[in-house]
Amino acid sequence: MKRSKIYIYSVLIVMIFFGWIFSESNEKNDDFAETVKTALREVGNQVLLSNQDSTSLILPIVELEKYKFKISFQKELSFEPSSLVVAVKNVFQKADLPNYYRVEVVQCSNAEVAYSFLIKNQSEKDIVPCAGRFLPNNCYSIEVKFTNNLTSFLNEQVLLSLLLFVIVIFFLDYKLSIRKQAEEQIEIDKSHTKIGVFQFYPEQNKLVKQATEINLSKKECELLVIFVANPNKIIKRDELTKRVWEDHGVFVGRSLDTYISKLRKKLKVDETIKLTNVHGVGYKLEINKPS
């Protein structure tokens, strides 16, 4: 696959991925807000019941800002802070809400905070002051703000999705790498010729026997190319010298015999291959099937 195509597919995947994240995140946030409102309505109900009030209304739960909610009541009330702490903890636990939040009891008349407490998921880090001191009868609202660890609570699915995305990209890259290696191996296989126990790589001027490489000079390689193309056939001396030396350098009378001798030494490890001299005519590469 061309690099440009890989880039295009990667961009498409990223666009789809982020579009999915945002839609999932919005749905998750909406669901979270509705769960919080339901839980806070139950908290309000328990606060009223602790005041022996089973008839007055809990006003609609208001989302003041992201992750911050407000409970308001129809009538004035008083309550003991510990009961509010217990009610919030129990209801939030049942609703599977995060254990990181701040609760403030706000006076309607002046918006002053009459009481507050902070929960941090660990009892030793929770801040719950003034337990046992009753708040006097008054108009109050209760505000709940979910704090720093809400992001991880909401985005577990997003993080999992990101991990899956990275795995998919890695898998695709791995598959492409394997495919490329296979194609390169095919090209390598196409570029060599089998000669007995050897693989002959004319483009690389070498013979390979198992894991051993045998380097060839340029002239040796050119001569072997001719012989491999004409196995078991006599190649005349004139033809060899013309094809290997013509326009490629000065030919000396003994040069051909010298290179033939070097080739014989390099091929002699395979007894099924013989580079023989046909006296007065030329040379022949004899390749016999092993018995």
pLDDT tens profile 150-202: 454 445 556 566 667 766 776 777 677 777 766 655 555 556 788 888 888 88
> Three-state SS across the chain?
CCHHHHHHHHHHHHHHHHHHHHHHHHHHHHHHHHHHHHHHHHHHHHHHHHCCCCCCCECCCEEEECCEEEEEECCCEEECHHHHHHHHHHHHHHCCCCCEEEEEEEECCCCCEEEEEEEECCHHHCECCCCCCCEEEECEEEEEEECCCHHHHHCHHHHHHHHHHHHHHHHHHHHHHHHHHHHHHHHHHHCCEEECCEEEEHHHCEEEECCEEEECCHHHHHHHHHHHHCCCCEEEHHHHHHHHHCCCCCCCCCHHHHHHHHHHHHHCCCCCEEEEEECCCEEEEEECCCC
Name the burial class of residue 149, with classes exposed (0-12), middle (13-18) and buried (19+) by CB atoms within 10 angstroms of its CB. middle
- What percentage of the chain has pLDDT greater than the value 70? 74
pLDDT at 19 exceeding the cut of 60: no
Tell me what pLDDT residue 155 has.
52
Q: How far is CA 265 from CA 175, 234, 260, in A?
A: 44, 20, 9
* Mean pLDDT value across the chain: 81
Tell me what pLDDT residue 172 has.
75
Tell me what pLDDT residue 126 has.
81
Q: Give the residue extent of every domain in the chain.
A: 3-154, 193-287
Tell me what pLDDT residue 140 has.
95
pLDDT at 290 exceeding the cut of 70: no
Tell me what pLDDT residue 12 has.
58
Find the mean pLDDT for residues 73-96. 91
pLDDT band at 284 (very low <50, low <70, confident <90, very high): very high
pLDDT tens profile 232-275: 999 998 888 888 887 665 666 678 889 999 999 988 888 888 99
Tell me what pLDDT residue 46 has.
92
Beta strands across the sheet bearing 273-278: 234-236, 282-287, 273-278
Find the mean pLDDT for residues 102-129. 88
Tell me what pLDDT residue 43 has.
95
pLDDT band at 92 (very low <50, low <70, confident <90, very high): very high
pLDDT band at 34 (very low <50, low <70, confident <90, very high): very high
pLDDT tens profile 118-153: 998 777 778 888 666 788 999 999 999 998 654 544
107 vs 168: which has the higher pLDDT: 107
pTM over 0.85: no
Tell me what pLDDT residue 123 has.
72
CATH T-level fold of 193-287:
Arc Repressor Mutant, subunit A (1.10.10)
- What percentage of the chain has pLDDT greater than the value 90? 32
Tell me what pLDDT residue 209 has.
86
Tell me what pLDDT residue 73 has.
95
157 vs 63: which has the higher pLDDT: 63
pLDDT at 37 exceeding the cut of 80: yes
